[in-house]
Amino acid sequence: MTSLYTENSEKWKSLASVDYFTQFIKAWIPFNAWYKSYYTTLDTDRKAIDWLKTNSNKFRNKLISLLKDQGNDGISFRSRIAELHVESG
């Protein structure tokens, strides 16, 4: 006789995994709203991303600060970026 607990283990395992697509969308929507309100002349996502990557701005400055930070915030941020890299592999 199989146990109800082991019978459903695969279902529970799949429910426990992180849905990165949904998490990305939840982060992208406010980011998109932010840059569209501050940089109204950037009419496509590609133009906005390219501009934000190469010019000083609030978002880029914060990311660079976290990447260079040797304290707990920086360590935590870099660790999470590493985890995302592993998940995308």
Residue 4, in any domain of the structure? no
pLDDT at 3: 67
Residue 83, in any domain of the structure? yes
Residue 11, in any domain of the structure? no
pLDDT at 11: 80
C-alpha to C-alpha distance for 58 and 27, rounded to whole angstroms:
16
pLDDT at 33: 93
Domain that holds residue 43: 19-88
pLDDT at 88: 62
Total-model pTM: 0.59
Residue 9, in any domain of the structure? no
pLDDT at 50: 93
CB 64 within 8 A of CB 77: no
C-alpha to C-alpha distance for 56 and 54, rounded to whole angstroms:
7
How many domains are there within the chain? 1
Residue 5, in any domain of the structure? no
| Low-confidence spans in the chain with pLDDT less than 70 | 1-5, 88-89
Residue 7, in any domain of the structure? no
Model confidence over 64-83: pLDDT tens digits?
999 999 999 999 999 998 98
pLDDT at 62: 94
